[in-house]
């Protein structure tokens, strides 16, 4: 940002210098521009750098005030969005029982400029000695269409497998994968589990297929507790829509008689032949997958707190400074010189009246003058009961990303083990990491803040208001222009929005809620499944606005064909106060 102001000021100074020299040749002959005096050039460049900073400060819309308010109410908005990808684990032949790979497992990439990029998983992965051996769609005259998946246990018989659910990631091209996702949630009549040898089959209802990725504990990256949870769904969808292309097949605990064999099949019976899919491939169904994000704990350089500066720059320790960017400050500890006494600083946004004896810290992000990412600065304050400020050394624990480095990774490059990666599985990424997105620290941040404050479910009853809110999460600072354009097109696909207050019997109780009718133009989406996934995201997002003892129900209408997609009633759990 400073580079633009510097160039503008330098150009203006040079033009002004020539005009002044022509008007007063005796006073300033060296400013005429006809000679290149290096001393004059250095003076002009230095002056342009200083005045450029002043001009930037005049244009920055009071960031100290706006950033402070944003960090209090919407702190997620001022954090960079780290690179993310999809990781697939492959069980080794030595795996003889099911194991759980917990969310947060650290993995590493091959070195980029000498630095390995750590990634951490976002979902728990139940790893089984299991593989998919085939997938097919059958449409026979007079018979319902079916999708059949064949599985084979590789370590022990099927009768010893005690899993109560099975998770599948729908892979392949995004448009086709979204169509399959739509098929599973809109056209499945039943799910049949059948062993390959002996045993007996069971039939599960379509409700046994459950979506993944919407729950609060299934987030792509850490989310501040004071931020509205609905924004997380929107932010993650615009960054990595594949994060939601997972299904859980539940109810497997009811399958008792599995026979002596090692194979079984899942048969999804469809209500009608699908028009958007003509065939399925085995490669489209992926076991043991999870989203992963480029986030890792890291230490910051110690800060000598002498209280002579209003703020101090937070710098990750060691290594190339361009290879690390601060995502968040996790912990601040002060250590007085010559003592072993430590005191913890609390983040200002979580400060409460009960913490009158606890010093607090503020974090402020600013655009870097030399790099494309943002820099973080920290300042401290002392409530009346916290004691007088004394010189200290601040020890800072950070959560960091590798800035722009992950963008240079390719498919298959995240395959290096760490101290927490599983020993009985190999792993790799099946998609290139997304581009890192910098927070919108520039102009219009004040407008974005006010837009957040003014919105609720009633104000969103206008389609233009809903579009305006969604656009707040399509950051123009993003480097993936294709993804930005695709998201902008999806938002423009909202053709109408109506909200009606209705009374409905829910779980035996009369509840008041909102029935939401959303019109979407299919021409603005990559496929019918893409439009359905967008509707699913809107269902969860709008549902988060519902308060306790209220509900929402979403109906999406295809503006071209008139088809209507309905989602179940969603009961709110948001307190009124």
Residue with tokens 């009960």: 354
Q: Which two tokens stand for residue 192?
A: 């049949």
Q: At what angle do helices 38-59 and 2-23 cross, to 10 degrees?
A: 130
Q: Which two tokens stand for residue 272?
A: 């009608």
Question: Residue 335: exposed, middle, or buried by beta-carbon count in 10 A (0-12, 13-18, 19+)?
Answer: middle
Instruction: Specify the pLDDT at position 478.
Output: 75
Instruction: Specify the pLDDT at position 140.
Output: 82
Of 125, 201, 112, the residue nearest 410 (C-alpha): 112
In the chain, what's the furthest Cα-to-Cα distance?
106
C-alpha to C-alpha distances, 535 to 208, 495, 520, nearest whole angstrom? 20, 13, 9
DSSP codes of every residue in 211-280: E-S-SGGG-SS---TTS-THHHHHHHHHH-GGGG-EEEEE-GGG-----SSSEEEEEEEESS--SS-S--
Q: Give the pLDDT mean for 48-76.
A: 72
Higher pLDDT, 127 or 273: 127
pLDDT digits (tens, 9 = 90+) for 163-204: 999 999 999 999 999 999 999 999 999 999 999 888 899 999
Q: Enter the pTM of the model.
A: 0.86
Of 519, 532, 459, the residue nearest 493 (C-alpha): 519
Higher pLDDT, 49 or 218: 218
The CA-based angle 34-55-61, given to 5 degrees, is 160
Q: Give the pLDDT mean for 351-363.
A: 77
Does residue 161 have a pLDDT over 60? Answer: yes
Average pLDDT taken over every residue of the chain: 87
Does residue 577 have a pLDDT over 60? Answer: no
Share of the chain above pLDDT 70, in %: 90
Backbone φ and ψ of 473, nearest 5°: -105, 10
Does residue 345 have a pLDDT over 70? Answer: yes
Does residue 239 have a pLDDT over 50? Answer: yes
Domain extents for the chain? 2-59, 129-287, 297-401, 460-571
Instruction: Specify the pLDDT at position 576.
Output: 40
Q: Give the pLDDT mean for 354-358.
A: 72
Instruction: Specify the pLDDT at position 442.
Output: 67
Q: Confidence band (pLDDT; 50, 70, 90) for 556?
A: very high
Q: Find the range with the poorest average confidence among 7-21, 115-129, 256-270, 286-300.
A: 7-21
């Amino acid at each position: 940002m400073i580079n633009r102001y510097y160039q503008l000021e330098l150009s203006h100074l040079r033009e002004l210098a020539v005009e002044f020299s022509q008007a007063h040749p005796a006073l300033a002959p060296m400013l005429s521009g006809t000679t290149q005096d290096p001393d004059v050039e250095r003076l002009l460049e230095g002056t342009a750098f200083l005045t450029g900073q002043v001009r930037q400060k005049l244009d920055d819309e009071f960031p100290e005030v706006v950033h402070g308010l944003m960090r209090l109410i919407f702190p997620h908005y001022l954090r960079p969005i780290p690179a993310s990808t999809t990781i697939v684990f492959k069980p080794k032949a030595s795996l003889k029982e099911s194991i759980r790979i917990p969310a947060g497992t650290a993995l590493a990439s091959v070195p980029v400029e000498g630095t390995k990029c750590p990634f951490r998983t976002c979902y728990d992965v139940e790893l089984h000695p299991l593989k998919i051996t085939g997938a097919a769609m059958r449409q026979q005259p007079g018979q319902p269409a079916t999708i059949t998946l064949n599985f084979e246990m590789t370590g022990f018989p099927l009768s010893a497998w005690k899993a109560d659910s099975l998770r599948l990631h729908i892979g392949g091209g995004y448009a086709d994968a979204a169509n399959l996702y739509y098929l599973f949630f809109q056209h499945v009549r039943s799910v049949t589990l059948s062993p390959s040898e002996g045993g007996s089959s069971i039939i599960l209802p379509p409700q046994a297929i459950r979506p993944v990725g919407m729950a609060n504990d299934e987030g792509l990256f850490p989310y501040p507790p004071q931020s509205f949870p609905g924004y997380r769904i929107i932010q993650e969808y615009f960054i990595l829509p594949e994060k939601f292309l997972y299904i859980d097949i539940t109810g497997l605990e009811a399958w008792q008689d599995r026979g002596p064999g090692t194979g079984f099949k899942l048969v999804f019976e469809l209500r009608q032949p699908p028009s958007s899919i003509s065939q399925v491939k085995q490669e489209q169904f992926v076991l043991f997958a999870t989203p992963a994000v480029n986030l890792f704990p890291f230490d910051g350089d110690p800060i000598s707190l002498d209280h002579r500066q209003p703020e101090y720059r937070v710098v990750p320790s060691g290594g190339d400074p361009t290879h690390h960017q601060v995502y968040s400050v996790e912990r601040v500890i002060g250590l007085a010189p010559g003592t072993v006494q430590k005191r913890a600083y609390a983040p200002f946004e979580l400060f409460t009246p009960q913490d009158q004896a606890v010093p607090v810290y503020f974090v402020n992000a600013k655009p870097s003058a030399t790099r494309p990412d943002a820099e973080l600065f920290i300042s401290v304050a002392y409530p009346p009961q916290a004691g007088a400020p004394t010189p200290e050394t601040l020890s800072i624990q950070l959560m960091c990303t590798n800035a722009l480095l992950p963008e240079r990774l390719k498919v298959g490059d995240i395959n290096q083990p760490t101290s927490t990666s599983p020993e009985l599985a190999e792993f790799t990424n099946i998609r290139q990491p997304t581009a890192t997105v910098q927070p919108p620290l520039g102009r219009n941040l004040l407008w974005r803040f006010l837009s957040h404050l003014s919105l609720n479910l009633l104000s969103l009853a206008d389609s233009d208001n809903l579009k305006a809110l969604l656009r707040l999460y399509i950051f123009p600072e993003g480097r993936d222009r294709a993804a930005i354009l695709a998201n902008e097109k999806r938002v423009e696909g909202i053709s109408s929005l109506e909200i009606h207050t209705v009374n409905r019997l829910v779980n035996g109780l009369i509840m008041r809620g909102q029935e939401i009718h959303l019109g979407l133009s299919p021409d603005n989406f990559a496929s019918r499944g893409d439009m359905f996934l967008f509707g699913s995201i809107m269902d969860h997002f709008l549902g988060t606005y519902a308060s306790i003892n209220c509900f929402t129900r979403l109906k999406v209408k295809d503006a071209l064909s008139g088809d209507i997609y309905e989602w179940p009633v969603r009961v709110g759990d948001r307190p009124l106060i």
